Structure 1
Amino acid sequence: MTTALRLPLRQDLTTTQRTENRALSAARAPGERSIARLKSLRIPHKARCSPARMTAIAAAVFTLDRQR
């Protein structure tokens, strides 16, 4: 997993480092939004089905969230 670059003590990030952090956060945002949507709907808590079916449901929510 790639993480964002941290700010050095009493220094600023370079323009390149800021650009890399923005690109990383833009790539992570859709996945984080989809997970938040699953949690807010409480789908994993309410579901009474097999874990394999929950994987398919999670994939469907992720796909629908990406199309917004």
Structure 2
Amino acid sequence: MVPYPVALDLPHALVEWVTMLIVTREGDRRKRPIGGELSPTQRTINRALAQARAPVERGMARLKSWRIFRRSRVGPNRMTVIAKAVLTLEK
């Protein structure tokens, strides 16, 4: 893969606001309660998320196995077309 570093010019107030959202909601993200089991709703949500993520993760694993993506010197737009072709061939 060819990494492309990027920097975004964001207002300081926006960065602070997003940081505070992350800090204040960190406890909410915790998927099992301490010493407890997941509720049936939480299990259903986790199962749905896993099913949605699985095809994407398999696709990324396939793309990483192709050497063309490690040695490529073309731009990201061209690589998108190549990635679509590889995933189509892999099906």
- Larger relative CO (CA 8 A, sep 6+): 1 or 2? 2
For residues 1-68 of structure 1, the aligned pairs below 5 Å read 6-63=31-88, 68=91
What are the Cα deviations for residues 39-67 of structure 1, in whole angstroms up to 9, with x where unaligned?
112332122323211011223334555xx
What are the Cα deviations for residues 21-51 of structure 1, in whole angstroms up to 9, with x where unaligned?
0000100111111111111123321223232
Q: Which TM-score applies when normalising by structure 2?
A: 0.56
Q: Is the contact made by 1:5 and 1:17 (CA closer than 8 Å) also made in structure 2?
A: no
In the TM superposition, structure 1's runs of 4+ consecutive aligned residues that sit over 6 Å from their partners are none
Q: Which TM-score applies when normalising by structure 1?
A: 0.72
Report the aligned-residue RMSD: 2.3
Q: Supply the distance in 1 between the matched residues of 2:47 and 2:89 (Cα, whole angstroms).
A: 24
Larger gyration radius, structure 1 or structure 2: 2
Q: Could you list the runs of 5+ residues in structure 2 that have no partner in the other structure?
A: 1-28
What SS does the aligned partner of 1:57 have? helix
Aligned length: 63
Q: Is the contact made by 1:7 and 1:13 (CA closer than 8 Å) also made in structure 2?
A: yes
Change (3 A) 1:32 1:19: same
Q: Supply the distance in 2 between the matched residues of 1:7 and 1:43 (Cα, whole angstroms).
A: 41
